[in-house]
Amino acid sequence: MKVPICTFDAKTGVLCPKCESRLKNGELSDVDVECSIKLIKLSHKNQDLDKLNLIGSQKIDEDYVLILKDSNVSHINSNDKLVSSVEEEFKGKVWFVEANSSVRRFLENLFFPIRILKTNMIWLPDGNQVTQVTIESKDYEKFISIIEKIKRIVNAVRKIELVVEIAGK
Ligand SMILES: [Zn+2]
């Protein structure tokens, strides 16, 4: 598994001078270091994690967002055992996102298992652009807090302003 710090540093929990200076100059964050250590620890007993390449991470409230390069996140999300072992180690909700996927795919992974019916780009009168997603109406009430969280993640990771519409409402 690849992480933003040296694998050796992640194993020992101590940063080498090079990673230490990257942390100081802001190239790395404390959350990156924390996530690297936790994931390397898990990757020893989990082959599915071993293939991943973590390039960044964010902490939003108590949730962790892991940004992966060249990964099939839907494959990870559908592996309940993997997700729960990661969340157990992180002691909180963990979101896996793809660094280089299309906006549509990025959103689909975050909204899973809520189905996205369509996405639109909308230009506001002030010149700003928002992305509108239309989701299935079924059971959406129980997802309201998750939807609010997704909006913040999308904004933090991709700088996208998200508007969520419920189909048929
Ligand atoms: Zn290092």
- In the chain (169 residues long), the average pLDDT of successive 10-residue segments reads 96 97 97 97 89 94 94 89 95 94 92 91 91 86 88 94 88
101-169 homologous superfamily: K homology (KH) domain (3.30.300.20)
Distance 51 CA to ligand 1 centre (A): 20
Report how far residue 153's alpha carbon sits from residue 162's, in angstroms, rounded to the nearest whole number: 10
Position 142 scores a pLDDT of 81
Residue 66 contacts residue 35 (beta carbons within 8 Å): yes
Position 10 scores a pLDDT of 97
Distance 13 CA to ligand 1 centre (A): 10
Distance 10 CA to ligand 1 centre (A): 8
Position 167 scores a pLDDT of 87
Position 70 scores a pLDDT of 85
Integer angstrom CA distances of residue 157 from 7, 21, 55, 133, 151: 24, 24, 12, 17, 10
Distance 66 CA to ligand 1 centre (A): 19
> Does residue 47 sit in helix, strand or coil?
helix
Distance 157 CA to ligand 1 centre (A): 24
* Helical (H) or strand (E) element with 96: strand 94-98
> 116-138 burial string, b = 16+ CB within 10 Å, else e?
beeeeeeeeeeeeeebebbbbee
Position 50 scores a pLDDT of 86
Distance 59 CA to ligand 1 centre (A): 22
Distance 31 CA to ligand 1 centre (A): 15
Report how far residue 64's alpha carbon sits from residue 67's, in angstroms, rounded to the nearest whole number: 10
Report how far residue 1's alpha carbon sits from residue 97's, in angstroms, rounded to the nearest whole number: 16
Q: In the chain, what is the straight-line distance between the N-terminal and C-terminal CA atoms, in Å? A: 44
Domain with CATH 3.30.300.20 in the chain: 101-169
Position 46 scores a pLDDT of 87
Model confidence, pTM: 0.90
Class of domain 1-99: alpha beta
Give Cα 7 distance to the centre of its chain: 21
Ligand 1 ion: Cβ-proximal residues, 5 Å cutoff: 6, 9, 16, 19
